[in-house]
Amino acid sequence: MIIATTIQEVRAQVAAWRKEGLTVGLVPTMGYLHEGHASLVDRAVSMCDRVVASDFVNPTQFAPNEDLDSYPRDFDHDCALLEEHGCHMVFYPAVSELYAPDAATYVEIQSDMPKQLCGKTRPTHFKGVCTVVSKLFNIVQPDKAFFGQKDAQQLAIIRRMVRELSYGIEIIGCPIVREADGLAKSSRNTYLNPDQRKAALVLSQAVALGQRLAAEGETSAAKLVGAMTDHIGREPLARIDYVSAVDGVTMEPVDTIKPGVLVAMAVYFDKTRLIDNFTVEG
């Protein structure tokens, strides 16, 4: 696997692949990779001739009070996992490679979409995500890019950005990967102490409860969200940020549960904020 740290190296390698007529997939990550990321790489390898993963903890998507400095990092482990899953190149830039000290250009969806759900407590987050993903798209110019459904709002926002900025890139959403006991895989799970790790199961339990109620025909978003909220509320270590039902494309709140509705939540365990979700099936 090639390790590239500069934009120039990535561009030269992708150009060489393009000359051979090969297709290129991009898996953007912030490193500290787990099986969720591995599933994105597997999907990319199955759909593209060459796969590039980026490994970059993007400062612009963290607010000053968030965990940028403590965000877990382990590049050697990341390389081993990527190599094992058939990734061809990892792009591992320094912050200075992607952001000039006076960088002042951002990509932002100027609608309510990034202000819903996670945007309520992380108002600048999606501006940073769109900016870095847009830069990665410009650097790698992939045919396809792969994102996890766990970050459902991020996925919807990136789909919209790609559509509205006319990127000729196909966005592939990949299913949530869970631990054996149901907890969605996340690099931030590593912050949980044993009691919090146990308590964090309320997220996947709430997902299962919501899915069951939807399958049984519950159409009231208030009732379904209420039942999930009550379940999480019974766990003393959990502090709910939000549990919401929104349109799966626009992220606008909905009153009625029907196919395509996204039911998403964010819950704190002390300072650790975890997310989970499901989309109502047809």
Residues of this chain that bind ligand PAF (CB under 6 A): 28-30, 58, 61, 129, 132-133, 151, 154
Is the separation of the CB atoms in 155 and 147 below 8 Å? yes
**Distance in angstroms (rounded) separating the CA atoms of residues 235 and 267:** 11
Q: At what angle do helices 152-164 and 125-140 cross, to 10 degrees?
A: 60
Looking at the annotation, which residues are catalytic? 37
Residue with smaller CB distance to ligand PAF, 133 or 177: 133
Q: What share of the chain is helix, strand, coil (3-state, %, to 5)?
A: 45, 20, 35
Number of Cβ within 10 Å of residue 113's Cβ equals 19
Q: What's the min distance (Å) between Cβ of 275 and ligand PAF?
A: 11
Q: What's the min distance (Å) between Cβ of 251 and ligand PAF?
A: 16
Q: What's the min distance (Å) between Cβ of 174 and ligand PAF?
A: 12
Residue with smaller CB distance to ligand PAF, 16 or 95: 95
Is the separation of the CB atoms in 73 and 27 below 8 Å? no
Residue with smaller CB distance to ligand PAF, 58 or 204: 58
**What is the edge-to-edge ordering of all strands in the sheet holding 238-247?**
238-247, 261-269, 272-279
Residue with smaller CB distance to ligand PAF, 67 or 218: 67
Q: What's the min distance (Å) between Cβ of 215 and ligand PAF?
A: 29
